[in-house]
């Protein structure tokens, strides 16, 4: 089943989040041909979660800590995120890796999310320098290994991997469909033992190009940034057509 995820990043407070949700719901005139997930900022999770209950939209969080509670000032409890209604959690986004130096703790975050019955969306992707140097796959493979190491195959059933080439995030550039297909194929081959694995593409996805990626057999969804901040464009992404 296709998975379309809107990552709102550090945009939209509680009131604006509700306004966007209303706009999206107004445009859902027919059944969603898959799953549609919104990931608002943490401060809007509970308000958003209350609003999307019993609607076709699902809730996700943009990040969590690896402990459910304790003396961790400013962190986001995965247990609280689930209490707000989150079924999905974005883990290891390139912006978290870049600005907050995340690395080894990604593995612990994934396990914490799985222990609560939530589905992690593990983000992987290479920089332009790494791609030009011929190291794209080795970088992504290392990120997969680091993120999933030591976690049982049974726990990882239904895992989502978002391939987001770093150079295509928020730049207006996108990987070619062939680049995306090649990387998705390698990810699927590497994780062939996992049941229900879904590979998403992310990186300047918008209504005008989503079909280029979603029509690929290896791609099962999209992780969307800027285009998820407008109700009309996000609805078009949900209803993309082959």
- Outline where DSSP puts E strands in the chain: 3-7, 35-39, 57-61, 86-91, 119-124, 160-163, 198-202, 221-224
DSSP classification of residue 194: S
Instruction: Assess whether 93 carries a catalytic annotation.
Output: yes
Tokens of 112: 């914490």
Q: Which of 35, 95, 111, 164 is catalytic?
A: 164
Tokens of 155: 């726990």
Q: Which of 26, 67, 93, 193 is catalytic?
A: 93
Instruction: Assess whether 95 carries a catalytic annotation.
Output: no
Which residues neighbour 137 within 8 Å (Cβ) at sequence distance 6 or greater?
183, 186
If you write DSSP's letter for every residue of 34-83 in order, what string do you get? SEEEEE--GGGHHHHHHHHTTSSEEEEES---SSSSSS-TT---HHHHHH
For residue 30, report the phi and psi dihedrals to the nearest 5 degrees.
-145, 165
- Residues marked as catalytic: 93, 164
């Amino acid at each position: 089943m296709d998975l379309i995820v809107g990552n709102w990043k550090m945009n939209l407070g509680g009131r604006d989040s509700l306004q966007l949700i209303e706009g999206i719901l107004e445009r859902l005139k027919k059944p969603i041909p898959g799953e549609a997930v919104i990931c608002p900022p943490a401060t809007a999770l509970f308000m958003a979660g209350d609003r999307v209950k019993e609607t076709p939209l699902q809730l996700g969080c943009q990040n969590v800590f690896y402990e459910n509670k304790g003396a961790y000032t400013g962190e986001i409890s995965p247990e609280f995120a689930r209490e707000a209604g989150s079924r999905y959690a974005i883990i290891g986004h390139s912006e978290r890796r870049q600005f907050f130096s995340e690395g080894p703790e990604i593995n612990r975050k994934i396990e914490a999310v799985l222990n609560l019955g939530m589905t992690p969306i593990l983000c992987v992707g290479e920089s332009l320098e790494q791609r030009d140097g011929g190291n794209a796959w080795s970088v992504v493979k290392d990120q997969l290994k680091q993120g999933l190491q030591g976690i049982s195959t049974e726990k990882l059933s239904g895992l989502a991997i978002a391939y987001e080439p770093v150079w295509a995030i928020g730049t207006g550039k996108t990987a070619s469909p062939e680049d995306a297909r090649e990387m998705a194929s390698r990810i699927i081959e590497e994780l062939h033992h996992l049941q229900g694995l879904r590979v998403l593409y992310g990186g300047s996805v918008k209504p005008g190009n989503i079909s280029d990626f979603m029509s690929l057999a290896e791609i099962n969804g999209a992780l969307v940034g800027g285009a998820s901040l407008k109700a009309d464009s996000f609805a078009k992404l949900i209803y993309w057509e082959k």
